């Protein structure tokens, strides 16, 4: 399946969404953001899906927003553009399944923001990261000011955004921006291994973990713990938990189809 600037493939209940504008380093424009929203809307209705991997075609993951389009925007058009990107990235967060970013190259500006919206980030050792918007007299507009601070802390985030500095995959790992670095030729295999490992676990349990983890960023600790107890208890009423615990006691792999 193809959308504007995107390719979508689904195999063995794992979806692979590829940004496919290699001639422009997969830069995000209004058309691509529209396609991304449509693809994610479709994926949200696929109840058999167990994981999503997002990557880029060519030497970039996403090198940022399309500056040619930005340069012609009025303030009202820029607001609409920002909200369209935020909507797409929010859809990533709201998927029931974990989303893995397989970062194959440049992840700058909007590309870095796209990676931040994913749950797990795996990068090639040659990948580069940065928020260069201030060098253009701009700032992140797709939720980056919020997600980056929550992920790596205020001081690290404000340093990257205000200096517009580009960092290596190793530095991104040190800051907590990444979970895994691989050799370039092993990137997609590693990302698929992680997605399949998640898919082998309890579907409803993984969904619950993602839901509660996301709520931790906006709720206070006490409210989060109360909700955790409610969702934890709710899993005990589902056949999946009975099968998982019985399989453990019987020293066998669980059959989640039960």
Domain ranges in the chain? 2-199, 203-249
What's the confidence (pLDDT) of residue 53?
A: 98
Domain covering 2-199, topology: 2-enoyl-CoA Hydratase; Chain A, domain 1 (3.90.226)
Is 189 labeled as catalytic in the residue annotation?
no
Is 38 labeled as catalytic in the residue annotation?
no
Catalytic residue (choose from 38, 133, 170, 189): 133
What's the confidence (pLDDT) of residue 10?
A: 96
The rounded Cα 57 to chain-centroid distance in angstroms is 16
Whole-model pTM?
0.94
**What does CATH list as the number for 203-249?**
1.10.12
E strand intervals along the chain: 2-3, 6-11, 14-19, 51-56, 60-62, 99-103, 106-108, 120-124, 128-130, 166-168, 180-182
Catalytic residue (choose from 57, 93, 113, 165): 113
- Mean pLDDT by groups of 10 residues along the chain of 258 residues: 90 96 95 95 94 97 95 96 96 96 98 98 98 97 96 96 98 98 98 96 94 90 93 92 94 84
């Amino acid at each position: 399946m193809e959308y504007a600037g995107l390719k979508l493939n689904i195999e063995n209940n794992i979806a692979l969404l590829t940004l496919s504008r290699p001639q422009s380093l997969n830069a995000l424009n209004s058309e691509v953001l529209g396609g991304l929203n449509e693809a994610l809307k479709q994926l949200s209705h696929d109840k058999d899906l167990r994981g999503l991997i997002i990557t880029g075609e060519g030497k970039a993951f996403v090198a940022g927003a399309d500056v040619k389009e930005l340069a012609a925007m009025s303030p009202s058009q820029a607001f609409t553009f920002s909200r369209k990107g935020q909507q797409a990235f929010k859809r990533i967060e709201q998927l029931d399944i974990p989303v893995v970013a397989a970062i194959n190259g440049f992840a700058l500006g909007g590309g870095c923001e796209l990676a931040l919206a994913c749950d797990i980030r795996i990068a090639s050792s040659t990948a580069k990261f940065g928020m260069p918007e201030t060098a253009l007299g701009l700032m992140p507009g797709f939720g980056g000011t919020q997600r980056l601070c929550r992920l790596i802390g205020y001081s690290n985030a404000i340093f990257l955004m205000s200096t517009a500095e580009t960092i290596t995959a190793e530095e991104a790992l040190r800051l907590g921006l990444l979970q895994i670095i691989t050799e370039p030729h092993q990137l997609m295999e590693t990302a698929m291994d992680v997605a399949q490992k998640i898919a082998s676990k309890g579907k409803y349990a993984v969904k619950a973990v993602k839901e509660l983890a996301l709520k931790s960023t906006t709720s206070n600790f006490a409210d989060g713990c109360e909700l955790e107890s409610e969702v934890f208890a709710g899993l005990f009423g589902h056949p999946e938990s009975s099968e998982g615990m019985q399989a453990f006691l019987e020293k066998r792999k669980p059959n989640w189809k039960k």
